[in-house]
Amino acid sequence: NPYILATLLFGLGLGTTITFASSHWLLAWMGLEINTLAIIPLMAQHHHPRAVEATTKYFLTQATAAAMLLFASTTNAWLTGQWDIQQMSHPFPLTLITLALALKIGLAPMHTWLPEVLQGLDLTTGLVLSTWQKLAPFALLLQIQNVNPTILVTLGLASTLVGGWGGLNQTQLRKVLAYSSIAHLGWMILILQYSPSLTLLALLTYFVMTFSTFLVFKLNKSTSINALATSWTKAPILTSLTPLVLLSLGGLPPLTGFMPKWLILQELAKQDLAPLATLAALSALLSLYFYLRISYAMTLTMSPNNLTGVTPWRFSSPQLTLPLAIATTATISLL
């Protein structure tokens, strides 16, 4: 029903906006809750056992994270007598809130729910989960001052490594994209303490690249690496561009995805964190391997079955192709 869909999407936007606009922990928590409650029916709309299972997992993790956040902010109010987000001073609630937000966006080692949940959803809802749902917790993470940098660096480094290793043995595209998401979030968290503007730049480029990737897979109707072999017959022009999109996600120059990584490594080196920068750069190589493998499956292998009939890309709707064209262009040539 379009009315229900409109209401849910409005709720999704409203929750995030409330969190953005709040300076009080209770309001921020409320925004996160509205956001979660709005996306749950969207996730379970295809009444498929896998989708329902994914929705349940998502609900449990998000409820846990929200409860942790509420507990930590109440503890902070109890210890310091104030609810202001910007003026957190006590280390205990600070740490707890950072961990709660990390669980909310799926940073390692609190990441295990993300691939499972994303695998159970269709590509459109998966796209919303990978992009829009990260905004509100990130707004809170950016606002919290004086967190112990060790925590953030540990979370960030663990995420880049887990995102690299985890994606290697996957054949399902949505799981690969989930691990890719974890790795990108790790890069953002690494630099959060030292240069918040770089975190925002990385988040923005990640959004553009992920948007592009999800739409490509949606156009091809492919959810596993094997299904990509038939892409040539479905959308030849797009298929020849897709490896560039994927390598941009991996962060290869001269594509857009190289920009945030380059600047983050430079900033880490400026902060005398050369070993950390080296580790992060090496973990990016892991991610690059599985993007290359997907590119190989799409463009360098011909499908064994000759698909007869019309090519779907001639009849695909402009609602899909226009955003896809914009996102792909931005992903490849924004550097």
Residue 55 clears pLDDT 60, i.e. is over it: yes
Q: How far apart are CA 313 and CA 234, in angstroms?
A: 6
Q: Which two tokens stand for residue 227?
A: 């299904």
Residue 15 clears pLDDT 60, i.e. is over it: yes
Q: Which amino acid is at 121?
A: L
Q: What's the pLDDT at 315?
A: 63
The closest of 167, 41, 61 to 117, measured between CA atoms, is 61
Domain map (residue ranges) of the chain: 148-332
Look up the pTM and report it: 0.94
Q: What's the pLDDT at 133?
A: 97
CB 263 within 8 A of CB 201: yes
Question: Which residues lie across from 172 on neighbouring strands?
Answer: 224
pLDDT digits (tens, 9 = 90+) for 75-133: 999 999 999 999 888 999 999 999 999 999 999 999 999 999 999 999 999 999 999 99
Q: What's the pLDDT at 304?
A: 64
The closest of 117, 78, 101 to 29, measured between CA atoms, is 101
Q: What's the pLDDT at 229?
A: 84
pLDDT digits (tens, 9 = 90+) for 134-162: 999 999 999 998 899 999 999 999 999 99
| CB-side neighbour CA atoms (13 Å) of 57 | 18
Question: Which residues lie across from 17 on neighbouring strands?
Answer: none
Residue 232 clears pLDDT 90, i.e. is over it: no
Burial class (CB in 10 A: 0-12, 13-18, 19+), 272: exposed
Q: What is the mean pLDDT of the chain?
A: 93
Q: Which two tokens stand for residue 19?
A: 């969190």
Residue 60 clears pLDDT 90, i.e. is over it: yes
Residue 306 clears pLDDT 60, i.e. is over it: no
More confident of the two residues 219 and 36:
36
Q: What's the pLDDT at 311?
A: 60
pLDDT digits (tens, 9 = 90+) for 180-224: 999 999 999 999 999 999 999 999 999 999 999 999 999 888 999
Q: What's the pLDDT at 153?
A: 96
Residue 252 clears pLDDT 80, i.e. is over it: yes
